[in-house]
């Protein structure tokens, strides 16, 4: 797609009748990988922008909101996370946040498309600063198969940092995948998945995620909301699932004294993200009959 200086990149959300635009400086990179169309643009005000199959993945300016909220709430909820697996997350931003935790001994990034990581190393070097950390491990292949093959009870935290639930990512939003995660996690593990927009997807993707995580054997599920300006509606979410760890509690003192710098996450943000909007409570309560309450 040829976009010249001053022109606009627009992602249209046809079903919602909305669109999001950023003013461009130039197209930096474009290729068709074996899996998807990948492009990087330099924008006027949001730094570099990554686009996969026409969908905005991240910008240099605001990705910290998403990457911090995909990692720190779950890491501070688990009592002692040592082994963390990221499914997707090829831009390496989540990996960087995970490895800020000194207690993490081993982190895996399981990304289907190696080109996303190589292109990120070139155009988003600030997200790739932990890639040479000796605790960082990379596997380029399908996260669904990887999780199916994982040894039972060996992982503390699985973070599903995927594209929207279509194409290669579709199976990452399914009961079978959640069951494989549960088995690989063991009793005290936590699963966290990016779960799209609270405004647009509570009755569809978010509700389905809660239901299927419960069907897979997780006893608690909880959705955390946070801002993400470049995604549809500017309001995003992740959903956590656990069997033994109560998701409404977290290591608050540790979060308050975290030995690293964040730009968004802190203990008050964590509390705020756990607060559930009324419409979401109502929507999820409809599925609660015969199950432990979603908010326990």
Q: Which residue is nearest to ligand SAM (CB)?
A: 88
Nearer to ligand SAM, 238 or 242 (CB): 238
Task: Report DSSP state, residue 20.
Answer: E
Strands (E), the chain: 8-13, 18-32, 37-43, 48-52, 55-59, 83-88, 106-111, 136-140, 157-161, 190-194, 220-227, 235-242
Q: Hey, which residues does 41 pair with through a beta bridge?
A: 27, 49
Nearer to ligand SAM, 113 or 180 (CB): 113
Give the span between the Cα atoms of 101 and 75, in whole angstroms. 8
Shortest separation between residue 165's beta carbon and ligand SAM, angstroms: 9
Give the span between the Cα atoms of 88 and 187, in whole angstroms. 24
Please say if 91 is a catalytic residue. Answer: no
Nearer to ligand SAM, 40 or 245 (CB): 40
Nearer to ligand SAM, 107 or 172 (CB): 172
Shortest separation between residue 180's beta carbon and ligand SAM, angstroms: 12
Backbone angles phi, psi at 202, to 5 degrees: -60, -45
Give the span between the Cα atoms of 223 and 247, in whole angstroms. 10
Shortest separation between residue 111's beta carbon and ligand SAM, angstroms: 5
Shortest separation between residue 194's beta carbon and ligand SAM, angstroms: 5
Shortest separation between residue 141's beta carbon and ligand SAM, angstroms: 7
Nearer to ligand SAM, 52 or 245 (CB): 52
Q: Which residues bind ligand SAM (CB under 6 A)?
A: 35, 57-58, 66, 87-91, 110-113, 116, 142-144, 161-163, 168-169, 172, 194
Torsion sign, CA atoms 164, 221, 207, 172: positive
Write down the catalytic residue from 161, 254, 256, 263. Answer: 161
Give the span between the Cα atoms of 243 and 220, in whole angstroms. 6
- For the annotated catalytic residues, the residue numbers are 161
């Amino acid at each position: 797609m040829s976009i010249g200086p001053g022109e606009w990149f627009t992602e249209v959300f046809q079903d919602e009748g909305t669109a999001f635009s950023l003013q461009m400086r130039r197209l930096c990179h474009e290729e068709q990988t074996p899996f998807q169309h990948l492009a990087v643009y330099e924008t006027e005000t949001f730094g570099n922008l990554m686009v996969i199959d026409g969908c905005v993945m991240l910008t240099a300016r605001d990705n910290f909101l998403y990457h911090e909220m995909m990692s720190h709430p779950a890491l501070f909820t688990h009592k002692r996370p040592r082994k963390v697996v990221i499914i997707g997350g090829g831009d390496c931003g989540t990996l960087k946040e995970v490895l800020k935790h000194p207690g993490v001994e081993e982190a895996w990034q399981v990304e289907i498309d190696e080109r996303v990581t190589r292109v990120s190393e070139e155009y988003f070097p600030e997200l790739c600063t932990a890639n040479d950390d000796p605790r960082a491990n990379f596997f380029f292949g399908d996260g669904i198969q990887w999780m199916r093959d994982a040894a039972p009870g060996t992982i503390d935290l699985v973070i599903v940092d995927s594209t929207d639930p279509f194409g290669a990512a579709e199976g990452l939003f399914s009961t079978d995948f959640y069951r494989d995660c549960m088995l690989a996690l063991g009793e005290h593990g936590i699963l966290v998945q990016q779960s799209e927009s609270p405004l647009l997807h509570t009755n569809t993707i978010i509700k389905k995620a809660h239901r299927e995580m419960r069907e897979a054997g997780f006893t608690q599920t909880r959705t955390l909301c946070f801002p993400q300006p470049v995604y549809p509606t500017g309001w995003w979410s992740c959903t956590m699932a656990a069997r033994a760890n109560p998701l409404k509690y977290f290591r608050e003192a540790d979060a308050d004294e975290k030995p690293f710098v964040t730009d968004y996450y802190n203990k008050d943000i964590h509390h705020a993200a756990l607060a559930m909007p009324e419409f979401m409570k109502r929507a999820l309560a409809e599925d609660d009959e015969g199950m432990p309450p979603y908010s326990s």
